[in-house]
Amino acid sequence: MKDKLTQISDDLNHDIITEKEAKRQLLFLCGVSTRTFRFSGMKHGKKFIREIQAKDRESAIADFELTYPDLTWRFSTDIT
């Protein structure tokens, strides 16, 4: 039986999974429990960027909206 790392690599090479899914699986193998998300948008004509660490995107969105209730984000990026 193949080890998990080889399986992820083979799945990625054969287009069974996406690069994003492969990254998620590799992070899980490494024991990474949080990821960093970058939120950006405009407030009074000025651009803002905030980074939030969370276990998943939904948690990061909730944390951003609770921490910065006066800001409205337009884009979010997983920068882990």
Asked if residue 23 lies in contact with residue 12, where contact means CB atoms within 8 angstroms, the answer is: no
Which is higher by pLDDT, 61 or 7?
Answer: 61
pLDDT value of position 47? 93
Asked if residue 73 lies in contact with residue 60, where contact means CB atoms within 8 angstroms, the answer is: no
The mean per-residue pLDDT over the stretch 2-17 comes to 79
**Each residue of 26-80: pLDDT tens digit?**
776 666 677 899 999 988 889 999 999 888 899 999 999 999 999 999 988 888 7
pLDDT value of position 45? 87
pLDDT value of position 19? 82
pLDDT value of position 1? 39
- pTM to 2 decimal places: 0.59
